[in-house]
Amino acid sequence: MSQQEFYLDSNATTVVLPPIADAVMKALTQEFGNPSSSHVTGIRAKARMERTRALARQVMGAHSGQVIFTSGATEGIQTAVISALQTAKTRPMPEAPLLLYGATEHKAVPETLKHWARLFDIPAEVRAIPVDGRGRLDLDFIAGHIDRALMICTMAANNETGCFQDMAALERVIRSGNPQVPWMVDCVQALGKLPLALAETSIDYAPFSGHKLYAPKGIGWLYVREGVPLTPVIAGGGQESGLRSGTENGAGIAALEVLFGMMLSQDGAFADHATLLGYRAQLVNTLRGVFPELVFNQDHDCSVPTTLNFSVPGFSSKELMDLFDAAGIRVSSGSACSSKVTRSFVLDAMGLPAWQSESAIRLSFGPAMTQAELDAVCERIDSAVAALATSCLLESDRDAEKHGLKGLIQFKAGSSCCWLYVDPDSNHCVVVDPVDSLNQRLERLIRCQDLVPLAILDTHGHADHESSGVALREALFDRIPAELMAVDALGWPNSCGTRRTLADGQVMPALTLGNSVLVRAPLPGHTDDSVALLLSRNACDTLLAEDIDFAFCGDTVLAGTLGRTNFSNSQPLSMYHSLNQLSVWLHPDSLICPSHDYHHQFATSLAAELREGGLLAEVLSGGMGEHAFMLAKAELDSGLCDQAGSELMCGATVAQSGGAIPELRAAELQQWRREGRRLSLLDIREPHEFALSPTSDADNVPLSRLVDFIGQQRYRLDSDPMVLVCRSGSRSLLASQSLRRLGVTNIHHIAGGHALS
Ligand code: PLP
Ligand 1 shell residues, CB under 6 Å: 72-74, 106, 108, 155, 159, 186, 188-189, 209, 211
Q: Which helix (H) or strand (E) holds 525?
A: none
At 638 the pLDDT is 87
**Mutational pocket test of ligand 1: of 75, 112, 163, 212, the residue with most ligand atoms within 8 Å of the beta carbon:** 212
> Tens digit of pLDDT for each residue in 332-386?
986 544 334 568 999 999 999 999 998 999 999 999 999 999 999 999 999 888 8
Burial category of 638 from C-beta neighbours within 10 Å (exposed 0-12, middle 13-18, buried 19 and up): exposed
Mean pLDDT of the chain: 92
Please check whether residue 186 is in contact with residue 156, taking contact to mean a CB–CB distance below 8 angstroms.
yes
User: From the CA of 69, how far away is ligand 1's center (Å)?
Assistant: 15
| Amino acid (one-letter) located at 358 | E
d(CA 130, CA 468): 36
> How many angstroms separate the alpha carbon of residue 156 from the centre of ligand 1?
12
Please, which pLDDT band fits residue 246 given cuts at 50, 70 and 90? very high
Report the pLDDT value the prediction gives residue 339, as an integer from 0 to 100: 39
CA distance readout (Å), 60 to 217, 427, 503: 20, 65, 79
Q: Which CATH class is domain 663-756?
A: alpha beta
756 or 202, which is more confident: 202
- Identify the CATH assignment for 18-264 out of 3.40.640.10, 3.40.50.2300, 3.10.20.740, 3.30.110.40: 3.40.640.10
Round to whole Å and give the CA distance between 278 and 283.
Answer: 9
Nearest to 555 by CA among 536, 535, 579, 520: 579
The predicted pLDDT at position 757 comes to 78
Whether the pLDDT of residue 642 is over 90: the answer is no
**Ligand 1 pocket: which of 14, 77, 209, 222 to mutate (most atoms within 8 A of CB):** 209
Which among 153, 302, 337, 726 is annotated as catalytic? 337
Residue 459 has pLDDT above 60, yes or no: yes
CA–centroid distance, 12 to ligand 1, in Å, is 8
696 has pLDDT over 80: no
DSSP state of 31: S
What are the boundaries of each domain within the chain? Answer: 18-264, 271-390, 407-637, 663-756
Q: What is the pLDDT of residue 648?
A: 60
> How many C-beta atoms surround the C-beta of residue 649 within 10 A?
17
Q: How confident is the model at residue 718 (pLDDT cuts 50, 70, 90)?
A: low
Do the bridges between strand 542-543 and strand 557-558 make them parallel or antiparallel, or are there none, so unpaired?
A: unpaired
Q: Which of 404, 481, 479 is nearest to 700 (CA)?
A: 404
Q: If you take atom 7 of ligand 1, which residue's CA is the nearest one?
A: 12
- The reply to whether 18-264 and 271-390 are identical in fold is no
- CA dist 54 and 286 (Å) reads 41
Q: How far is the CA of 28 from the centre of ligand 1 (A)?
A: 26
pLDDT for res 559: 93
pTM: 0.88
Where residue 255 falls among pLDDT bands split at 50, 70, 90?
very high
Residue pair 649/643 in contact by the 8 Å Cβ criterion: yes
Q: What are the pLDDT digits (tens) for 196-216?
A: 999 999 999 999 999 999 999
pLDDT in tens, 102-133: 999 999 999 999 999 999 999 999 999 999 99
Closest to 506 (Cα-Cα) out of 603, 440, 585, 413 = 585
Please tell me the residue having the least CA distance from ligand 1 atom 12: 73
What top-level class would CATH report for the domain 407-637? alpha beta
- Using pLDDT thresholds of 50, 70 and 90, give the confidence band for residue 393: confident
Could you tell me the sign of the dihedral formed by the alpha carbons of 130, 132, 135, 139, in that order? negative
**CATH number belonging to the domain at 271-390, selected among 1.10.1040.10, 1.10.1370.10, 3.90.1150.10, 3.40.1280.10:** 3.90.1150.10
Quick one: pLDDT at residue 399? 62
- For ligand 1, atom 5, the nearest C-alpha belongs to 159
Asked if 205 and 228 touch (Cβ cutoff 8 Å), the reply is yes
Distances (CA, A) of 494 to 11, 516, 522, 672: 57, 19, 16, 56
Per-residue buried b or exposed e for 243-261, using 16+ beta carbons within 10 Å of the residue's own CB: bbeeebbbbbbbbbbbbbb
The answer to whether residue 337 is catalytic is yes
More confident residue, 82 or 539: 82
Within 10 A of 416 (CB to CB), how many other CB atoms are there? Answer: 21
Query: What is the pLDDT confidence band of residue 464, given thresholds at 50, 70 and 90?
Result: confident
Residue 694 has pLDDT above 80, yes or no: no
At 471-520, the pLDDT tens digits run 999 999 999 999 999 999 999 999 877 999 999 999 999 999 999 999 99
Cα-to-centroid distance, 73 and ligand 1 (Å): 6
